Amino acid sequence: METLRTSGGSCSTPPEERRRRTEAAHWQQTGSRLTADWQPTGSRLAAHWQQTGSRLTADWQPTGSPLAAHWQQTGSPLAAD
């Protein structure tokens, strides 16, 4: 069976595609891009996001905003609009 060869000597995955696959694999392992990005920082905000399971909740809950309360009830920023 023939192998497709490029000028570099072998068929390789483009860097962009390789990066996407790596990110996807990492997101799959952690279950969340947000968790993957913030967990290593030890940030208080990151810890709060982890506890609430929602960036939206973490961002808006402390403000006491009526909009935030509405988003919490509906579970959708779109519904709030």
Q: State the pLDDT at residue 80.
A: 44
Q: State the pLDDT at residue 63.
A: 53
Q: What is the mean pLDDT of residues 62-66?
A: 55
Tell me the pLDDT band of 53, cut-offs 50, 70 and 90: low
Q: State the pLDDT at residue 74.
A: 66
Domain coordinates of the chain in residue numbers?
Answer: 15-80
Residue 13, burial from CB neighbour count under 10 angstroms (0-12, 13-18, 19+): exposed
